[in-house]
Chains A and B, each alone.
Chain A
Amino acid sequence: MELLANLGTGFSVALTLPNLLYCFSGVLLGTLIGVLPGIGPVPTIAMLLPITYALPPVSALIMLAGIYYGAQYGGSTTAILVNLPGEASSVVTCLDGYQMARQGRAGTALAVAAIGSFIAGTFATLLVAAFAPPLAEVALKFGPAEYFSLMVLGLIAAVVLASGSLVKAIGMIVLGLLLGIIGTDVNSGLQRYSFGIPELSDGIGFVVVAMGLFGFAEIIINLENTEKREVFTNKVSGIWIKWKDLKEALPAMLRGTGIGSVLGILPGGGALLGAFASYTVEKKIAKDPSRFGKGAIQGVAGPEAANNAGAQTSFIPLLTLGIPPNAVMALMVGAMTIHSIQPGPQVMTNNPQLFWGLIVSMWIGNVMLVVLNLPLIGIWVKLLQVPYRLLYPAILLFCCIGVYSLQNNVFDVLMTAGFGLLGWIFVKLECEPAPLLLGFILGPMMEENLRRALLLSRGDFTVFATRPISAVMLGIAIIMLIVIVAPSIRKKREEAFHE
């Protein structure tokens, strides 16, 4: 039982008192910054990097990793309570989580998110421990052609995110694609729609768009009508989760864990797709899909589990191949470099203490997070009772600090305000921002990979069909397209018969 021996090594490292303390301070700090809207793990880890100079490498990484997955927990809290997604994956949590909070079920939503994250975290940790090297090989099978097909599949699935009109959803996706184009084109170095403004040359940040469209717009809407201003704190029905709710949520959590774990392995933004994919699956297999977007518990449980599972398995490409799959992992590479450890195929053999210690600490950190978060739910829900005249300015202030901290640039704060106005217009037009965000994220990645795949194939389009993984995904995309379009075709035909 080599796995057990390895986990033993891990526990012996992670269970020492200093490392437990670093783990705890990491997850606590992560939870806090996750809850504060806008202040994400990237600036926090960046700020703490110099402090970790003095720590032993294992302790430093345990703490930094703790901040990362702690922030995932905390991020869902703000998404559920005030409709503010701190990062890409919590956009999905906003959809049904915030609706649950409006119905007075904030406690249930928060508990489901915490439990789902814990189950996912446990499973994903085992997966990393047992199969990291072979899974890394799977990641290598994904070249530009495969990523392109995956993005196509993702975009078609994005239509499902919307609970309203199909045409509006497609319109929002396309608008997202256009916004995603802004910035420097990787292939030609050409500036697109940056109007000579240097701050736009790297494109618009995700947090800027998400904060504006979700958070700021929500506040504007609520301020607009004082009579109808929602007070959902009065109808909070218990802060603890009921057995019936848990039974409903559990299968979704398990499915989300599976989806998130698999997609998290892909270094090209796979972890991001987990939550979206899980939501799509839950909505498709639900008996009554119309409940989604109106507070369906599965719509919180699945994506939250997927999100956390993906956060854990995204360590696989980092630790086994040395490839950072996202900005946070790139910072972890920096942290390792400072300590003279280069992430890559040798970490496991050269630094087994570090590798297994980090993996076991992730599980311990997840236990701490559940213990920390379940009692906190009561406090978070109470937060909603804070009068709006105090709550809103506070949220706005934290958002501005958070957005500013991304690049230390005031321009980003102004842009967020602009997107807030745009979000308000969208609400008035009954257009949902979630598909826009998915288009915004996937569009640039899809274009980049399409052009890269064609460069590599010297312009031959058949690569997408001749590479098996790519072909399968395009096939699924076509089937999904038919499923989405078919009902409207049938409707038209019926209308024709009636005439």
Chain B
Amino acid sequence: MKPATVLAAVLLAASFAMPTAAQMPAWPTKPLRLVVPFPPAGATDILGRTLAQKLSEALGQPVVVENKPGAGGAIGSDMVAKAAPDGYTLLIATTSTHSIGPSLNPKLAYNAEKDFVPVVWVANSTNILVAAPNLPVTNTAELVAYAKANPGKINYGSSGNGTIVHLTAELFGSMAGIRMTHVPYKGTALVMPDLMSGQVSILFDNIVSAMPSVKGGKVKALGISGAKRSPLVPDLPTIAESGVPGFVSDTYFGVFVPAGTPPDIVLRLNRDINRILESTEFRDKLAVLGAEPVGGTPEKFAAEIRTETAKWSKVIKDAGVKLE
């Protein structure tokens, strides 16, 4: 680079940096938008809408939720990745868009690490392992023993190739040392009828959506996929404590802004959302979704994303999951 160009670049950068710093206290002066990269009424959407409402009160500006579904969350995430980093465009995203997607699809339009600044880890949710009523097992250890005694008999349902439900089952199979047949569907809700009738043997499903069927005796609950038991079903052991030690699979939900967003804004958002996470009203809403509030610094969220990305990319590689 020529010295003159360098000088010009420095001057240019300085001219941008100074007014930004000066204008800082004025943020936010107009409505913000929170992009939900999934369709309405899903867990991410409900979480996003609840958060947006609380955030509007905290910031004194409306926070408008915009659903931008498609391609497993990639379309909405990409939109935010390319949005102006002025603090007015926010994204609520999950393990799928920021840890699994990038490992699964090398041609993804956005770079999950470089195009975003993580703001805060909002919540964590775990899945429940449910089994067909006619499967002769009552807990995780019995399932593993049954699968080993009857090789090739277990089918597991999923919400599609490369989804967290699919990868969770792959991780479970490899850690338990059992082989199972993957039967993909267009969503876990669609697996339920075939699980109830016993054509599909097991499924990892959201706790909140699976529990009514468990309570109604239509399917059996075997274990919780997360690191600790769920307050929604305190009696149900985790998979790790009942047969497959070390097995953990959960989903993070968090807020992101485009890379280049002024650090002051990131910190302000982080502080406000952390405060929202402490309110009982917000915690109650999370409980309804089967999620637990997390919170903390942007660095804590960034570290979690790195850990999860490393974990799922290994699962993807070991199981040989490919989209091409």
A-side residues, CB < 8 A to B, are 45-46, 49-50, 139-144, 184-191, 196, 198-199, 201-202, 267-268, 317, 321-324, 330-331, 333-335, 337-338, 340, 342-347, 407-409, 448, 452, 455-456, 458
Q: Taking each of B67, B189, B289, which has the highest tally of chain A beta carbons within 10 Å of its own beta carbon?
A: B189
B40's contact among A268, A331, A343, A345, by CB below 8 Å, is which? A331
Of all chain A residues, the one with the shortest Cβ separation from B157 is A452
Shortest A489–chain B CB gap in Å is 39
Tell me, yes or no, whether B49 is within 8 Å of chain A by CB: yes
B70 and A199 contact, CB distance less than 8 A: yes
Cα distance A296–B40 when bound, in Å? 40
B-side residues, CB < 8 A to A, are 39-42, 45-46, 49, 53, 65-71, 74-75, 78, 104, 107, 109, 152, 155, 160-162, 181-186, 189-190, 192-194, 196-197, 199-200, 208-209, 211-213, 215-218, 288-289, 321-324
With A186-B185, A188-B161 as known contacts, state yes or no: A196 contacts B209, CB within 8 Å. Answer: no
With A198-B74, A342-B209 as known contacts, state yes or no: A186 contacts B186, CB within 8 Å. Answer: yes
B161's contact among A189, A323, A407, A452, by CB below 8 Å, is which? A189
A330 and B189 contact, CB distance less than 8 A: yes
User: Tally of A-B residue pairs with Cβ under 8 A?
Assistant: 146
Shortest A196–chain B CB gap in Å is 7
Name 13 A/B residue pairs within 8 A (Cβ), A-sorted: A49-B40, A143-B197, A189-B160, A198-B70, A321-B218, A335-B41, A344-B213, A346-B215, A347-B212, A407-B68, A452-B184, A456-B181, A456-B199
With A186-B160, A267-B190, A344-B213 as known contacts, state yes or no: A198 contacts B40, CB within 8 Å. Answer: no
With A198-B74, A344-B213 as known contacts, state yes or no: A408 contacts B67, CB within 8 Å. Answer: yes
B40 and A140 contact, CB distance less than 8 A: no
B288 and A340 contact, CB distance less than 8 A: yes
Shortest B10–chain A CB gap in Å is 37
A321's contact among B53, B181, B192, by CB below 8 Å, is which? B192
A342 and B40 contact, CB distance less than 8 A: no
Shortest B32–chain A CB gap in Å is 16
User: What residues of B have a CB within 8 angstroms of the CB of A321 in the complex?
Assistant: 192-193, 196, 213, 218
A143 and B218 contact, CB distance less than 8 A: no
B192's contact among A323, A346, A458, by CB below 8 Å, is which? A323
Cα distance A143–B192 when bound, in Å? 11
B193 and A338 contact, CB distance less than 8 A: no
B70's contact among A189, A196, A407, by CB below 8 Å, is which? A407
A199 and B75 contact, CB distance less than 8 A: yes
User: What residues of A have a CB within 8 angstroms of the CB of B216 in the complex?
Assistant: 344-346
B192 and A322 contact, CB distance less than 8 A: yes
With A322-B192, A337-B288 as known contacts, state yes or no: A198 contacts B185, CB within 8 Å. Answer: no
Shortest B87–chain A CB gap in Å is 21
Shortest A96–chain B CB gap in Å is 33
Shortest B186–chain A CB gap in Å is 6
Cα distance A191–B160 when bound, in Å? 13
User: What residues of B have a CB within 8 angstroms of the CB of A323 in the complex?
Assistant: 189-190, 192-193
User: What residues of A have a CB within 8 angstroms of the CB of B53 in the complex?
Assistant: 50
Shortest A469–chain B CB gap in Å is 12
Of all chain B residues, the one with the shortest Cβ separation from A186 is B184
Of all chain B residues, the one with the shortest Cβ separation from A43 is B40
With A189-B160, A198-B109, A338-B46 as known contacts, state yes or no: A333 contacts B189, CB within 8 Å. Answer: yes
Cα distance A144–B198 when bound, in Å? 12
A346 and B189 contact, CB distance less than 8 A: no
A190 and B323 contact, CB distance less than 8 A: yes
Cα distance A201–B37 when bound, in Å? 14
Cα distance A199–B71 when bound, in Å? 7
Cα distance A331–B45 when bound, in Å? 11
User: What residues of A have a CB within 8 angstroms of the CB of B67 in the complex?
Assistant: 46, 408
User: What residues of A have a CB within 8 angstroms of the CB of B107 in the complex?
Assistant: 196
User: What residues of A have a CB within 8 angstroms of the CB of B199 in the complex?
Assistant: 143-144, 456
Shortest A428–chain B CB gap in Å is 33
Shortest B311–chain A CB gap in Å is 20
With A199-B70, A323-B190 as known contacts, state yes or no: A189 contacts B41, CB within 8 Å. Answer: no
Cα distance A340–B190 when bound, in Å? 21
Can you list the 9 inter-chain pairs with the closest CB atoms, starting with the nearest?
A334-B41, A344-B212, A345-B216, A189-B161, A46-B40, A342-B212, A201-B71, A189-B323, A198-B71
Shortest A229–chain B CB gap in Å is 39
